[in-house]
Amino acid sequence: MVGITSYGGYIPRLRLNRMVIVQNMAWYFPVIMAVAQGEKSVANWDEDALSMAVAAAYDCVTGKDRKAIDGVYLASTTLPFSDRLNSDVVATALNTKEEGVSCADYTGSLKSGTTAAISAIESIQAGSNNNVLVVASDQRGAKMATMYEMFLGDGAAALLFGKDDVIAEFKGHFSLSCDFVDHYKACGKETDYTWEERWVRDEGYAKIIPDAVAGFLKKYGMAIGDFDKVIFPCYFKREHANIAKKLGLDPSKVQDNMHEVCGDTGTSHPFVMFISALEEAKPGDKILVASFGQGCDVLAFEMTDKIKDFKGPIGIKGSLANRVELASYQKYAKFRDLITADLGIRGEANPNTSLTTLWRNRKMILGLVGGKCKKCGTPQFPAAPVCVNPDCNAVGEMEDYEFADKPGKVLMYTGDMLSASVDPPAIYGLVGFDDGGRMFVDFTDCILEQTKVGLPIKMSFRRKYKDDMRGISGYFWKAIPQVKE
Amino acid sequence: MATGIKDKVAIIGMGCTKFGERWDVGAEELMVEAFQECLADAGIEKNEIQAAWFGTCFDEVNVGKSALPASMTLRLPNISVTRVENFCASGTEAFRGAVYAVASGAYDICLAIGAEKLKDIGYGGLPEFSSAMGTLNGLWFPNATAPGCFAMLASGYAAKYGIDMKDLKNAMAHVSAKSHANGVLNPKAHLRKAVTEDKILNAPMVAYPLGLFDCCGVSDGAACAIVTTPEIAKSMGKKDFITVKALQLSLSNGEEIQYSAWEGDHFVTTSKASAEAYKEAGIKNPREEISMMEVHDCFSITELVTMEDLHISERGKAPKDIMDGFFDLDGKIPCQVDGGLKCFGHPIGASGLRMLYEMYLQLHGRGDQRQIKDPKYGLTHNLGGFPMMNVCSVAIIGKHDV
């Protein structure tokens, strides 16, 4: 049996109430008021499609043997690198093995997530892979005062496919491909170019999705009524309901498009919605998932008994619950580089990324792998040739030790106004890990007033810097103080 | 068996520029200004200097690399000149090089000079550090600044002793107010304005919990010393000259930042360097025997915590000593007599030598309005780097016959 063995989700913590956009920008384009319901998820200034992909992937593989993963596929239309395998950054961050792992980026369309899933499933069916992680993530740019600014949210989702402990068995797929260009993003552009909404809605979503679903049902001799939940994206709320009607679906069987809670998360969205459904699914439930983008992929799954006891990760539900309102439109605009604020001369510093150094230390930097002394058992970061324990100081006795999932606490901290930061004050400090080891590290997703010595922390993979001169984004981990509300 | 440095080397001349925003001069003029004073004070000719050590830290935005800037600026007679850099201990490192060279018998007369031109970068605070930290650290170290790193110490100290941050801030404000009061009395100081504790407490935040007045001045300046053996000093006819009693350095080895024992409340290195220095100088009870101090008050919290690591205040009791006026100019051990880094200023490579300069003046009774009655031992202390990873130097000097 091939199917889903785990899932994980990540919706960034910041939410922008759409009325905040309206209050700031409706003077320029009042039409945005029509879709101003609820809030959209906003990636923090130090997040992007790649960092969110790692967050969702980590969530998905929690409790799983990461060394058993033999494929990492990443789907997105907003990856930071067009030539450097982004999925390999995810694999390194997960500290998977390197030999015997194939990584691939799926991009170029919002349906590339489902396409990646089909490839993953087929590679397992063919017997060439056992466990393939499929991650979809998007952080799409939108110009100010546009419908896209209203519709689009940020987020990521991950599905682990395999043969053992399947919670949702794969039952088949059907794909429709056509060069329907509702929007496109040219190479080197930050935002999409979009065509008239009425046409996108009526000739795009409302025809292509039903056609693909019909194709699937015909191929497998099934009826839409066989499914307990049907998932398809469409950021027009009303059209989403109309398509359901067109498909002959009972409204209770339609998965909500999540406009009010996070917005359309692009390539991730079919999975974000799917995972929301998985979080509520019962054994025997049949779920149909469709995507949209130059056609449509349709995949069917049936829940196994194992879904009953599946200890859910944070998932979409958990990350939606972890929310903080971003009250300032200016902050949102600054985080997305829509406006320029001066960082000062101090902020001009731009040391080059040494690729040789990064290669040698890739496990440390991307995977947060430190060392544990084989002589005295002391965990330490970074792994050093000489053990840091003053009573040991053994030479050359380090073995890999992962810090990414280790609990820790704030030992010292500050909020620094002098440091050049997109979101001052820059909060950082020294964290100590409960099982040993400590780290001088940036904090994120926190505010100074709530940061305290002794607070528990979780580590999170973030974009550490963006070197616009050389076009490289650097990644490392930051600590998130866990504030109890 | 090593016998330490005590009384093996005499300081026969010192010089120090006015510190401050010296927009009109470069590091070269500053070096010459300090050197001319020093030469005149020593009463020797330039050609009598046999070797020199030059301390400067941010060479990239200052004089550039190597010791050539010192050798060429001072037109030294093609002698050995060594550039040293050890963060904020760079000035004391230069002094250490010169002192050890004389003590070894390799040379008779040596020069230590420290200089730093910090105000040519176009922005406030110390020069940005990211391109000077190495290629690996650059990939992961936090987006930190000096005030931020030392501000962390306040959070660790307050947590360790269960002190309310408000009370700690009050003690920190007294630290700064005292140094401002001392700075007023010193014509060479960068900042010469008295500031009330109220104003200090209400200043804009730089890095929580450090406000503007919790941070020292960023200044241009140079300072230097000429050293020789006590025998040669005597043969030159010097009376009541000053000798080095102790000179210690201690560096972090990673335990604070990587191992799980340190609580973020003190300086491991300062505790060690000062204990070694007292031993070297033969000082049994520093709280009773040290007459005056110039410590590395880059930030008010640094000075506060340092009082404990110098074994002057008991652990957790520095705020009380500070509030009791123990370190004020009229207190038991006046600290930052010349205004400290806080108000005299902090041109990094010069700072260690500037501290020695004040102790030297005081021991010679040349402290003017700031003169302390009959000082015996003067202690200087530098701390370079961050609380969790640093270089610490401690020096003690006093009259030769003591």
pLDDT in tens, A64-82: 999 999 999 999 999 999 9
Q: How many CB atoms lie within 10 A of CB B165?
A: 15
According to DSSP, the residues that pair with B389 across neighbouring strands are B386
Taking the CA atoms of A307, A308, A312 and A318 in sequence, report the sign of the dihedral they define.
Answer: positive
Structure confidence at residue B402 (pLDDT): 61
Instruction: In whole angstroms, give the CA distance from residue A330 to residue A333.
Output: 5
Which residues in chain B have Cβ-Cβ distances shorter than 8 Å to A464? Answer: 139-140
Catalytic: which of B57, B88, B224, B335?
B88
Residue B5, domain member (yes or no)? no
What φ, ψ does residue B126 adopt, rounded to 5°?
A: -70, 160
Residues of chain A with pLDDT > 90, as a percent, come to 98
The Cα–Cα gap between A434 and B293 comes to 40
Question: Do B113 and B234 sit in the same domain of this protein?
Answer: yes
Answer yes or no: is B2 within a domain: no
Three-state DSSP at A357 gives: helix
Q: What six digits make up the tokens of A451?
A: 């940061």
Evaluate whether residue B135 is within a structural domain.
no
Overall average pLDDT of the A287-315 stretch: 96
- Per-residue pLDDT at A44 exceeds 80: yes
Residues in contact with A432: Cβ distance below 8 Å, sequence separation at least 6, in sequence order: A408, A409, A411, A438, B260
Mutate to test the interface with A, among B137, B152, B206, B252 (most CBs of A within 10 A): B152
CB contact under 8 A, A414 and B149: yes
A455 belongs to a structural domain: yes
A381 domain residue, yes or no: no
Q: Which of A427, A420, A423 is nearest to B125 (CA)?
A: A420
Q: Which of A354, A361, A412 comes nearest B153 by C-beta?
A: A412
Q: What is the DSSP letter of A251?
A: G
- By the CB < 8 Å criterion, does A423 face chain B? no
State whether A349 and B144 contact (CB < 8 Å).
no
What is the DSSP-derived secondary structure letter of residue B36?
Answer: H
Dihedral sign, Cα of residue A262, residue A263, residue A265, residue A268:
positive
User: Which of the listed residues A335, A366, A392 is the one where a domain comes to its end?
Assistant: A335
Q: Does residue B83 belong to any structural domain of this protein?
A: yes
The DSSP string of B268-330 is: HHHHHHHHHHHHHHT-S-HHHH--EEE---SBHHHHHHHHHHTTSSPTT-HHHHHHTTTTSTT
User: Does the CB of A428 have a partner CB in chain B at under 8 Å?
Assistant: yes
**Strand boundaries in A285-336, DSSP class E:** 286-290, 295-303, 324-325
Please choose, from the candidates B12, B343, B355, B17, the residue with its C-alpha nearest in 3D space to the C-alpha of residue B184: B343
Round to whole Å and give the CA distance between A231 and A251.
Answer: 12
- For residue B239, give every residue at least 6 positions away whose Cβ sits within 8 Å of its Cβ, in sequence order, or none: none
When pLDDT is averaged across residues A431-457 and rounded to a whole number, the result is: 97
Instruction: Give the CB-side neighbour count of residue A353, counting CA atoms within 13 A.
Output: 22
DSSP classification of residue B86: B
The residue of A45, A392, A418 whose CB has the most chain B CBs within 10 angstroms, and thus the best one to mutate to test that interface, is A418
* Count of domains for chain B: 2
All residues at 6 or more sequence positions from B3 whose CB lies less than 8 Å from its CB, including other chains: none
Checking if the pLDDT of A86 tops 80, the result is yes
The domain boundary residue, chosen from A335, A363, A379? A335
What angle separates helix B146-161 from helix B165-184, to the nearest 10 degrees? 130
* Same structural domain, B290 and B173: yes
A474 touching B, CB under 8 A? yes
Tokens of A193: 């170019």
3-state secondary structure A162-188: ECCCCCEEEEEEEEEECCCCCEECCCC
A71/A220 same-domain check: yes
Q: Are B350 and B386 within one domain?
A: yes
Distance separating alpha carbons of residues B183 and B362, to the nearest angstrom = 15
**Counting beta carbons within 10 angstroms of the beta carbon of residue A318, is it exposed (0 to 12), middle (13 to 18) or buried (19 or more)?**
middle
List C-alpha distances in Å: A187 to A79, A209, A463, B148. Answer: 12, 27, 22, 40
Give the CA dihedral B346, A350, B135, B392, nearest 10 degrees: 10
Q: A363 in a domain, yes or no?
A: no
Residue B141 lies in a domain: no
Q: Are B377 and B360 in contact (CB under 8 A)?
A: no
Q: How far is it, in rounded angstroms, from Cα B265 to Cα B317?
A: 12
In this structure, what CATH number is given to the domain that contains residue B80?
Answer: 3.40.47.10
**Residue A364 lies inside a defined structural domain of this protein:** no
Q: What is the mean pLDDT of each run of 10 residues along chain B (402 residues)?
A: 96 98 97 98 98 96 96 98 98 98 98 97 91 91 96 98 97 98 98 98 98 96 98 95 98 96 96 98 98 98 98 98 98 98 98 98 97 97 97 97 71
Nearest-by-Cβ selection for A430 from B140, B158, B388: B388
Mean model confidence pLDDT for chain A? 97
- Out of A414, A438, A440, the one facing B151 most closely (by C-beta) is A414
Using CA atoms, how far apart are residues B340 and B370, in angstroms rounded to an integer?
Answer: 13
Average pLDDT score over residue span A313-327: 97
Q: What is the pLDDT of residue A485?
A: 59
Cis ω on the peptide bond leading into residue A12 (within 30° of 0)? no
Chain A partners of B302 at a C-beta cutoff of 8 Å? none
In a domain, B136, yes or no: no
Q: How many residues does chain A have?
A: 485
pLDDT-derived band at A482 (thresholds 50, 70, 90) equals very high
Q: Yes or no: say if A158 and A194 are a contact pair by the CB < 8 Å rule.
A: no
Say whether both B325 and B283 belong to one domain: yes
Q: Which residues lie closer than 8 Å to A47 by C-beta, 6 or more apart?
A: A12, A139, A154, A462, A463
Interior/surface letters B7-21, b for 16+ CB within 10 angstroms, e for the rest: bbbbbbbbbbbbbbe
Rounded CA-CA distance A170/A287 in Å is 10
Half-sphere exposure (Cβ direction) of A213: Cα atoms closer than 13 Å? 26
* Domain-embedded: residue A383: no
- Would you give the end-to-end CA distance of chain A in angstroms? 43
With CA atoms as reference, report the closest residue to A310 among A285, A281, A288: A281
Kindly state whether residues B342 and B376 are assigned to the same domain.
yes
Distance linking the first and last C-alpha atoms of chain B: 23
| Residue B390 belongs to some domain of the structure | yes
The answer to whether residues B172 and B282 belong to one domain is yes
CATH number at residue A317: 3.40.47.10
User: Which pLDDT does position A366 carry in this prediction?
Assistant: 98
Q: Give dist(CA B262, CA B244) in Å, integer.
A: 32
CB-neighbour burial class of residue A282 (10 A; exposed 0-12, middle 13-18, buried 19+): exposed
Q: Which domain holds residue A436?
A: 406-481
Question: Is the residue at B214 inside a domain?
Answer: no
Chain B 122-141, CB below 8 Å of chain A: which residues? 122-125, 128, 130-131, 135-136, 138-141
Which amino acid belongs to residue B230? Answer: P
Asked if B145 lies within 8 A of A419 by C-beta distance, the reply is yes
Which of the four pLDDT bands, split at 50, 70 and 90, describes residue A155? very high
Among the candidates A286, A307, A335, a domain finishes at A335
Contact B7, B23 (CB under 8 A): no
Calpha distance A4→A166 (Å, rounded): 5
Cβ atoms B59, B85 nearer than 8 A: yes
The whole-number average pLDDT for the span A456-475 is: 97
CA distance A390 to chain B (A): 8
As a dihedral over the C-alpha atoms of residue A353, residue A357, residue A362, residue A364, rounded to 10 degrees, the angle is -100
Cβ–Cβ under 8 Å, residues A254 and A241: yes
The tokens for A150 are 């209203």
Q: Which domain holds residue B354?
A: 146-209+243-397
Domain co-membership, A136 together with A241: yes
**Same-domain check for residues A138 and A242:** yes
Same domain, B298 and B279: yes
Same domain flag for B230 and B163: no
Tokens standing for B37?
Answer: 């004073």
pLDDT for the residue A311: 84
Q: Are B249 and B237 found together in one domain? A: no
Q: Which residue of A has its CA nearest to B209?
A: A414
CB proximity B258 to A under 8 Å: yes
Q: Quick one: pLDDT band at residue A128, thresholds 50, 70, 90?
A: very high
Same domain, A307 and A438: no
Same domain, yes or no: A310 and A450:
no
Interface residue of B214, B260, B301, B388 to substitute, partner A, most A CBs within 10 Å? B260
Residue in chain A closest to B136 (alpha carbons) equals A357
Residue A308 is assigned to a structural domain of this protein: yes
Q: Tell me what pLDDT residue B336 has.
A: 98
Of A151, A150, A75, A86, give the one whose Cα is nearest residue A119.
A75
Whether A399 is covered by a domain: the verdict is no
CA dihedral A90, A96, A98, A100 (to 10 degrees): -110
pLDDT number for residue B130: 82
Co-location of B199 and B346 in the same domain: yes
- The tokens of B383 are what? 């701390």
Same domain for B97 and B186 = no
* Residues B79 and B174 reside in one and the same domain: no
Q: What is the pLDDT of residue A384?
A: 94
Rounded distance, CA B372 to CA B402, Å? 17
Structural domain contains residue A348: no
Average pLDDT over every residue of A124-130: 97
Respond yes or no: is residue B346 known to be catalytic: yes
Is residue A49's pLDDT more than 80? yes
- What number of residues does chain B have? 402
Residue in chain A lying closest to B132 (CA):
A351
Angle, CA of B222, B228 and B232, to the nearest 5°: 145
CATH number at residue A418: 2.40.50
pLDDT at residue number A113? 98
A371 beta partners: A380, A400
Closest by alpha carbon to B86, among B95, B75, B77?
Answer: B95
Burial of B61 (0-12, 13-18, 19+ CB in 10 A): middle
Instruction: Please tell me the predicted confidence (pLDDT) of residue A123.
Output: 98
Structural domain tally of chain A? 2
